[in-house]
Structure 1
Amino acid sequence: MQITLEILDNIAQTTPLSEADWLREIAIALFQKELITLNRASRIAQMHQIEFQKLLASRGICVHYDVEDFEQDIQHLRVRGWL
């Protein structure tokens, strides 16, 4: 799925954010509302998950780490041969 976001000129001109900045802000907002997982949010933000976690921490945002996240992490470790 591809989503195109159009920013009104008056907002774009008064808010000096790059495309990467907008993606990070969208990812953070969706993650805070618990609409997406940490993994998905870091991919939307185009950041390594650890870097995204650091960004969240710098803003005082709690990382919601649940069983699904744990199971995904374990699966990724197995795929990479680390378990």
Structure 2
Amino acid sequence: MALVISDTLLENLDTTANNLLIDLACFLYEKQQMSFGKCRELSGLNHLEFQKELGKRKIFQHYDEDDLKSDLENLGIDL
């Protein structure tokens, strides 16, 4: 599926297509509609750049107990 946004609309929004994609990716991540990886991919930024962008917007990374357990298992740490 392709989303087409006219140049006129972008001019009225006073933004670029790249910035609009970053805005959308951050919004979707904040609302937990998409994973970090998928939102990062949508934004066109690398991992660190997307983390920094989230930080500038005061959007915290989603990390819950299940994520911690998974990370500990991957490291071979038993609790």
Structure 2 gaps of 5+ residues are: 75-79
Contact 2:29–2:35 (8 Å) recurs in 1: yes
Does residue 29 in structure 1 map to residue 30 in structure 2? no
Instruction: Please report how far the alpha carbon of residue 52 of structure 1 lies from its aligned counterpart in structure 2 after TM superposition.
Output: 0.3
- 2: CA distance between counterparts of 1:49 and 1:57? 12
Q: Aligned residue for 1:61?
A: 59
Structure 1 gaps of 5+ residues are: 75-83
* TM-score normalised by length of structure 1: 0.67
- SS of the residue aligned with 1:23? helix
Does residue 42 in structure 1 map to residue 40 in structure 2? yes
The residue type equivalent to 2:30 in the other structure is Q
The residue type equivalent to 1:52 in the other structure is F
Percent identical pairs in the alignment equals 25
Matches within 5 A, 1:1-40: 3-7=1-5, 11-40=9-38
| 1:43-81 Cα distance to aligned partner (Å, 9 max, x none) | 11011111101011011111113429x66xx6xxxxxxx
Based on CA coordinates, which of the two structures has the bigger radius of gyration?
2
- 2: CA distance between counterparts of 1:47 and 1:65? 20
* TM-score normalised by length of structure 2: 0.69
- 2: CA distance between counterparts of 1:50 and 1:9? 29
Matches within 5 A, 1:62-77: 62-66=60-64, 67=67
